[in-house]
Each structure stands twice: as C-alpha cells, then as structure tokens.
Chains A and B, each alone.
Chain A
Amino acid sequence: MTETGMFGAHGTGDTSGYGGLVKSAASTGSSERPYGGYFDGLVDDLERAYPEFSASIERVVVDRGELTLHVKREKLVEISLVLRDALKFEMCMGVSGIHYPDNIGRELVAVYPLLSMTNNRRIRLEVSVSDADAHIPSLVEVWAGNNWHERETFDMFGIIFDGHPGLTRILMPDDWQGHPQRKDYALGGIAVEYKGATIPAPSERRSYS
C-alpha cells in the first residue's frame, strides 16, 4: 500500500522541494517610448553608434527602473563591443542563466548586467536560445572577467559559450552528470556521487510510511 502524504494533500502542497516543481515565467512584449530616465538618451546613443540596431535588437524592455535589451545571439559580441567602447560600459557583472522549459525554442536565457562607471549607468543584455542548440558566443574576449561567470552558467544550465578559452565545470565536480539549475533537474532526489563515493538520494534515505 502506498500513502500519498500525511493529510492526503495533492497538487503543490509540497514544500520539501522533492516534488520536482516546474513552472514557467517567460516575459513577452516590448516597452514603448519614452522609456524614462537616461534610457531614452542611452538607446539613442546606441542607435547612432550601431547602425544595425533595429536588425539586432529584438526587444527593448523597461521594467522597474531597469533597461533590458534582448539581443540576437549572433550579434551579441558586436553589440557588446559597441557598448564597451562607444558607450563606455567598461564592466560586465557576469552572466546569469534562466531556464524556461515551456518557452519552446527559447528555453535558455543568458542575462548580462553591464555597468558604466564613466556615466554611472546600468543596462542589461538578454540572449535567448533553444535547448537543442544551446550555443551563445563567449564574451570573454570583450570582458575578461566573464570567464568564470560563463563557466558557472555552463555548469548550471548547459549553455555552451562558443569561443570560451576553457569551458569546463567550475562549481560542480568534473565528472558530474547534468546541469543542476535547470528546471527539469529536481532538487535532491539524486544519489550523490563524488569521485566514487555514493550517498543515497534524500528521498531514499529513510522511510516515513
């Protein structure tokens, strides 16, 4: 006989995390001008400095006082160079991945927060790719500090950064299977194996029935 929870709860009564909770939250739509603040001037400057603006940038989103440019991946390096050299975004504060398993064709997203110390401005770049073709050009040549951040995003999401000088796992062990921060990768429930030593999955350690 199998029992399904202490009070017979069904659905998302789970707070343990072992239920493999999967949700999706991809955003859509583009913002209208005026964007407000320094964003209008910034986008104008970028349009002047980068003639291919409209062909390369899919969406301009202003939300909660932050500006996001959704960039086509094949134009990412070009735009980054323009932003760095012409618009003085000297620093890239790394990469953060997001996984939207239900957003077919655009499952994996890489987010790059940029900082301009010269003009005291921030902007964010976003690139979406499909799970089947999870390749994004590396920005290590543009901002060397992105090296470890891209390795982390590869480790956690399986996004392959083409042109990275050494794209290996950084936080997980070298022989790890899978990419832990993807939504289809359950929390716990996985037998921990590290260099030959095994520990049973949390869900199998003891019985509560």
Chain B
Amino acid sequence: MTTFDPYAPSRETTEGTVFSVTGGDWDSLVQEIGSTKEERVVVNMGPQHPSTHGVLRLILELEGETVTEVRCGIGYLHTGIEKNMEYRNWTQGTTFVTRMDYLGPIFNETAYCLAIEKLLGITNDVPERASVIRVMMMELNRISSHMVALGTGALELGAITPMFFAFREREIVLDIFEMISGLRMNMAYIRPGGVQQDLPEGAIPKIRDAVKLMRKNFKDNTNLLVGNSIWLKRTQGIGYLDLAGATTLGITGPVLRSTGLPWDLRKMQPYCGYENYEFDVVTADTCDVYGRFLIRMNELEQSLRIIEQALDKLEKLDGAPVMVADKKIAWPAQLALGSDGLGNSLNHIREIMGTSMESLIHHFKLVTEGFHVPAGQVYQAVESPKGELGAHVVSDGGTRPYRMHFREPSFNNLQATSAMSEGGMIADIIAAVASIDPVMGGVDR
C-alpha cells in the first residue's frame, strides 16, 4: 500500500480491496491496483454514470480491458407504480403509467387504455377519431423516443453533434405534444374510452409543417453518421445478438428486427386501426449495434408516413367525437379553453351546478369513485419504440385495478447486456447498452 490517495481511497473487505474512484489522477489508481496480488478486477459502473443511460448499474469483471462477465444491477428507480395503481381508480391510472417509460408516455397510456377497453368490452366503441389521434400521437412519440436513443447513444460514444440535432427534432415533437395536451411529457392524454380532449384549432397544419421540417432535418444526422468510418468502427459487429438469442431472451423491437425478422405488432397484431395505414417494417440483418441504429433511423421516415396518413384521416373526421358515447365510462369533464387556460367548459359547469342535480351526482360519482370494470384479466401488447409493451390487467369488478403488471420491453431487453457484451471490450458495453435503448423508468417502474 502506498500513501492515501484522495481520488482513489481504498478499504479492505471480505471480497478483497475495494477502491472508490472519484476522478482525478488515473495513474495513481493503476499504481494502487498494481500493488495488489489480485488479477481479477471487478468494476462497478453506475448507477451514477454519464453513459449508462440513467441509473443503471453495471457490474463488470475485467481482464485488462476485456470484459469477462457483466451483470446489471437495477431497481434504483423503482417507484411502486404497479402497487400504487391498485389504490387509484382506472382513469387515475393513466397518470401513473405515463411515468414508467418516460420517453414513450403515449405508448404506456395506450397499452393501458386498450387493456381496460378490452376488459370493458368497448374496443369497437372507441370513436375512430380517437384511434387516429392515438396513432398519430404514438408515431410522434416514436420519433421523439428514437431521437433520444440516437442522440444519447451517439453522445455516449463521443459524437456530440448528433445529440444536438436529435434533441432539436425531439423539441419539435414535444412542442406538438404541448400544443395538444398541455404537457411535454407525462401527458396522461390517452384515456380509457378515447383521448382527454380533441386537437386544438390549427393543430393539423402545424403538424404538417413539423413533418416537413423533420423530414428535412433528419438528413443532418443521416449525413453525419450513416457510413461515417469512426461510427462504423464503433458500431459494426458490436453487441452481436442473433435471432436464436433474441428469441430465447424474449427480445422484441429494433433489437429483434436487427436479426432480420420483420416482427412488428403494428403489422402482425394490429390495434388502434394500424391495419389501415401503409408503412414498411424496417429490418437489418447484421445483428449488431449499427443495424439497430439504421433501423431506428429508417423507422423515423415510416413514422412520418403514418402521421401524414393520420392527418388526412383527421381532416375527414373533423368534429367527430374523441371519447366513447357511454356516459358511464367517459370522463365527464367537457374541457374548454378559457382566458385563464384550459379547464372545465362553462356550459358543463352551468349544467351540473345550475340545472341538473343528476348530472352533478353523475359527475361526482365518476370523478371520485370511477367506473366499474367487469372482473377478469387481459393481456394487451403494443409495439413501443423499445419492443413489446404488454399490459396485464386484472379486475375484480371494482373501480380500481386488482392487479396491474407491465411487461416492459426495456426491463426484458436489458437482460441481453451480458450476451451482447461478454468477451468484448469495455468500451463496447456502452455501445451495446445504448443499442438496447433501455429507459430506467420503464425497467424499474
């Protein structure tokens, strides 16, 4: 042992000497480690680490710079969403689920609401305009989610400019979300039976402009990264996972499609009317980080195509309802834009407060108690940007879920870290994890 080093203090444990590296002089740490007899080095990466995609802890066993074993430590962002939902009514649940995978809130809400609608048996009663808005919102959300995946993935490999471009595009999408729902993230906009409110005036031309702008902007990142020799060296042949591995590990989404299998729930088991849209399922056959990157890049254009078709449909459905007609399920608030922002419409307040005692009781019961969902269980899956997002919902016939479970694609796909990274270089773990695109809010729930 040499003298005390403020940047790498050490202590003895039953597992051997533990060094806590806090920055500073790397050479002094190397010297310290060199003085121990142990050849095997176990390194903790995270949970607070700039390139582990949030609070993910990677436990690495190293031989030099070669990784012999990787294990993920998760749970640092566990918030008990599933448990909490058992104590809130079905509509309130949307505010919980939207916070799971916070980069894909619309997908969480849609999976949850589709599951409730299946339990209620009203899947076919959801108005077409509501379904089209859901599809449009999901595809916008897919763009913003892929943008974070691409931007942070590139940043973690040292490419800073793509991150700026990606977040510029994400801002465009978040501005649209704000215009439609009032919130940029965690919108709770998709509700059981439809959507919270109709599109505001002038939304469609604005989204059309945004689509044009994004189509032009996407070329910037394409020009920067596709075929870039440094990018290719960092991503090609890295994080290899073939179809057999992906299948046994239950991997879905871009990682599965990078093995060449065109599996996309929007095509295979359509929901929200996806069968009425023209788009292609993007695949790659390289099974590596570069393939997954290309898939995400090309899915952006497919999402824009779907958004354009959705906008055409919305123009034809102008003025159509966006919530089921059944007043026993539909959230009773009729929203309107007042001088002080969005709130209950004055006409609705006038009706429940001034003219109809029954309307007031109905409003009160539905808001405080919620609607009843017949007993039973369903599993509803949607294709989120990360893969199959499944909602397993159990009802006992009450106004709250008896049990909610989300099959989160990030949670499942993160298991592939070991298979993708062991035997490779330590720097390639970063690329492999980034290509899985895990969002810890979804992993830990």
Residues of A bordering B, CB below 8 Å:
15-17, 21, 23-25, 27, 63-66, 68, 90-94, 96-99, 111, 113, 115, 117, 120, 122, 124, 143-149, 152, 156, 169-173, 180-181, 187
Contact = CB atoms under 8 A, between A and B. Distances in A.
Contacts of A169: 75
Given A17-B87, A21-B87, A148-B412, A117 B261 contact: yes
21 contacts: A27-B377, A64-B118, A93-B407, A93-B412, A94-B250, A94-B390, A94-B412, A96-B405, A111-B377, A117-B268, A124-B379, A145-B249, A145-B412, A145-B415, A148-B412, A171-B78, A173-B75, A180-B80, A180-B83, A181-B403, A187-B86
Given A117-B261, A187-B84, A27 B375 contact: yes
Contacts of B261: 117
Interface residues of B, number: 48
B121 A64 contact: yes
Contacts of B411: 148, 152
B80 A149 contact: no
B376 to A, nearest CB: 5
Contacts of A115: 388
Interface of B: 74-75, 78, 80, 82-84, 86-88, 118-119, 121, 247-252, 261, 263, 268-269, 368, 375-379, 381, 388, 390, 392, 394-398, 402-403, 405, 407, 411-412, 414-415, 444-445
Main DSSP-derived SS at the A contact region: loop
B412 A149 contact: yes
Interface centre among A66, A117, A145 (most CB of B within 10 A): A145
Contact of A93 (B247, B381, B395): B381
Contacts of B379: 66, 93, 113, 122, 124
A91 B398 contact: no
A25 B412 contact: no
A149 B87 CA distance: 23
B377 to A, nearest CB: 7
A66 B368 CA distance: 31
A91 B250 contact: yes
B251 A171 contact: no
